[in-house]
Amino acid sequence: MKTIDELLSEGVAGKRVFVRADLNVPLDGTTITDDGRIRAVVPTVKALADAGARVIVASHLGRPKGAPDPAFSLAPAAARLGELLGADVAFAEDTVGTSAEAVVSGLADGQVAVIENLRFNAGETSKDDAERAAFADKLAGLADVYVGDGFGAVHRKHASVFDLPKRLPHYAGYLIATEVGVLKKLTDDVQRPYVVALGGAKVSDKLAVIDQLLGKADRLLIGGGMAYTFLKAKGYEVGISLLQEDQIPAVQEYIERAEKNGVELVLPVDVLVASEFPDLKTKAPANPATVAADAIPADQEGLDIGPETRKLYASKLADAATVFWNGPMGVFEHPDYAEGTKAVAQALVDAPGFTVVGGGDSAAAVRTLGFDENAFGHISTGGGASLEYLEGKTLPGLAALED
């Protein structure tokens, strides 16, 4: 995989460089609520612009259905990128149409443009190879060189991620190089004890990575909505908590395999429960109760790990040489259910070893809860991509850059 430093050494002045970024940021209307992914691509864009490249930044945002949708416009992200760069950033109101062509042709050396949401064109996400290829051909016409730096999208076989690099000289940007380097520390040369904390809503989203980690991690800490399927698999009442009954046989097998392999599988010993899901808009007081994990009332829902579990998980992370954390421990968006996620984040800060926050909701939680990002070894920009890498899958976007 050639890197951006090699590209810069070859010289980029006057060249049109297509940067596939990940500007898929959360929006409240047109207001960006977490700009972490935009900040992550700034080093690559700035290095190229400073070297005289004509930089074309492209990304998806949300899940529009292959046609323009103002709710998913990249205009706010383009404006924020300009603020972070301290320079004007031009914005094209389409992907490969007349606006994109005009904006790109109008760039001078060292200037930056953002083209509209790639998913406004059905060819970006099409499963039809020919349709994706046709869109990739049009994108290739805008540029001379490709730089992949959208780590959050490298697990997608999309036109701008997989097909476009094959049509242009291609290089990995700083973000992707960093992300891959971090993931290798979690797979190829792991320092022990290696502790993995997994949360989030659905156990089905994590089954494949758990399968892999049962042969690699020393301890697995389970929280979030997925914990209730594990508790149910042990025969506990989980009330009206989030539950995937169809996954119980797989979870039971994992519990047995963890014991056989000497992997410490740690489940909640107490949880916060309530009779209904909290209001995340008003954040009205929810008044949860704390109960033992094996004593959840039939009419109650588990919404966070309890105080004893927080202490337990912190103790299991205290001596870790390597930590990977993906998925919140509870409904962290509501203050009454944020303490579990906050406790795990603080335990990572306090841990002596290399700590990785695995993107997605975990990264959002770290920022929402006010932690200093520099207190962690690495905060990934791609939750899904990180998990699939740890599962041992071939990621299309990385494979395309390695050709």
Active-site pick, 20, 37, 219, 316: 37
DSSP designation for 208: H
> Which residues define the annotated binding site for substrate?
22-24, 37, 60-63, 119, 156
> Which residues define the annotated binding site?
22-24, 37, 60-63, 119, 156, 206, 302, 333, 359-362
Which residue is listed with tokens 């056989």? 260
Q: Could you tell me the two tokens for 96? A: 């490969």
Q: Indicate if 235 belongs to the active site.
A: no
How far are the Cα atoms of 85, 126, 132 from residue 129, in angstroms, in the given order? 36, 7, 5
How far apart CA 330 and CA 227 sit, in angstroms, is 10
Active-site pick, 360, 382, 383, 397: 360
Q: Indicate if 123 belongs to the active site.
A: no
> Which residues define the annotated binding site for ATP?
206, 302, 333, 359-362
| Alpha helices (H) along 194-297 | 207-213, 227-233, 248-261
Cβ–Cβ < 8 Å for 186, 356: yes
Q: Indicate if 97 belongs to the active site.
A: no
How far apart CA 302 and CA 213 sit, in angstroms, is 26
Which residue is listed with tokens 């599962």? 391
Left, alpha or beta for 224 (phi > 0: left; psi -120 to 50: alpha)? left
Q: Indicate if 384 belongs to the active site.
A: yes
Q: How far apart are the first and last CA of the chain?
A: 7
Active-site pick, 80, 167, 185, 202: 202
How far apart CA 6 and CA 253 sit, in angstroms, is 47
Residues forming the active site: 37, 202, 360, 384
